[in-house]
Amino acid sequence: MQTISTSDITIHIRDEGPRDGRAVVLANSLGTDLRIWDALLPLLPAGLRIVRFDKRGHGLTDATPAPYSMDQLVADAEAVCDGLSLRDVTFVGLSIGGLIGQGLAARRPDLVRALVLMDTAAQIGTAQLWQDRIDTINRDGIAALAGPILERWFTPAFRDADPEFPLWRNMLTRTTVAGYAGCCAAIAGADLTESTRALTLPVLAMAGDQDGSTPPDLVRATADLCGAEFHVIPDAGHIPCVEQPAATARLLTDFLERTAP
Ligand SMILES: O=C(O)CCC(=O)CC(=O)O
């Protein structure tokens, strides 16, 4: 197992591919861990150095008490990149992972050469929405919200027929309450509109056509903010790398080719 230690937590990472390969860092969404990228990785070009990590309170990474701030989550991602001495990173962020990517690109233009925003935005939801969610899971646990969350994550076809579906439910409900609530607080406090508008690096944005968490129009508005190209992925909800890995890989591969050093 691979780890990076910060001043307060041990972060679970997976660092694959040649050490001198082009660095691609993948940051996952709320209530998920680094396994969401499993189906995508074999479809990406050979020779990449691909680094994944479980964010604070998720997967095998330590959970500190809630609330967390977006600055804290960005600092964790920065610690992963600096701890591995990565440079010229293509940072791929899904949902809250995309907020982390926007924050890191603004803070460390020396580190991030290109950004992929997957089902994310410069601001997601309202403070009230996130506070309601925090209150519910603190009172009743994540399982109480699992039904509607999974309806936003995946299309009906996937939920009804895919044998993996119950495992994604397990991943969500086994997330620590501190980690889930902590990240809800970080999203609630994050309005990255101005810093994302100021980004000048190449940005690719995409969204599942049936994403119920960050719908295509919301993602498109953030793409427009920073001059990104934008694509809709058919037959996908909030997590296209799970539901449509081939379509996601095609967009990512094409972007990597066009932004090669
Ligand atoms: O997925 C995320 O990182 C946050 C967006 C969200 O609300 C996901 C969900 O619908 O639970």
Quick check: CB of 190 below 6 Å from ligand 1?
no
What's the pLDDT tens digit per position in 67-91? 999 999 999 999 999 999 999 999 9
Ligand 1 atom having least distance to the Cα of 187: 4
Residue 29 CA to ligand 1 center (angstroms) comes to 7
What interface predicted TM-score (ipTM) does this complex get? 0.95
Residue 71 CA to ligand 1 center (angstroms) comes to 18
Does the pLDDT of residue 98 top 90, yes or no? yes
Q: Which domains does the chain have, with CATH numbers?
A: 2-258 (3.40.50.1820)
What's the pLDDT tens digit per position in 122-152? 999 999 999 999 999 999 999 999 999 999 9
Quick check: CB of 219 below 6 Å from ligand 1?
no
Quick check: CB of 213 below 6 Å from ligand 1?
yes
Quick check: CB of 152 below 6 Å from ligand 1?
yes
Residue 30 CA to ligand 1 center (angstroms) comes to 5
Quick check: CB of 95 below 6 Å from ligand 1?
yes
What's the pLDDT tens digit per position in 224-245? 999 999 999 999 999 999 999 9
pLDDT for 208 equals 98
Q: Are 113 and 90 spatial neighbours (Cβ–Cβ below 8 Å)?
A: yes
Does the pLDDT of residue 217 top 90, yes or no? yes
pLDDT for 182 equals 98
pLDDT for 261 equals 85
Predicted TM-score (pTM) of the model is: 0.98
Task: Compute the distance between CA of residue 22 and CA of residue 43 in angstroms, rounded to an integer.
Answer: 16
Task: Compute the distance between CA of residue 177 and CA of residue 189 in angstroms, rounded to an integer.
Answer: 18
Quick check: CB of 32 below 6 Å from ligand 1?
no
Quick check: CB of 124 below 6 Å from ligand 1?
yes
Best of 26, 29, 132 for a ligand 1 pocket test (most atoms within 8 Å of beta carbon): 29
- Of the pLDDT bands very low, low, confident and very high (cuts 50, 70, 90), residue 206 is very high
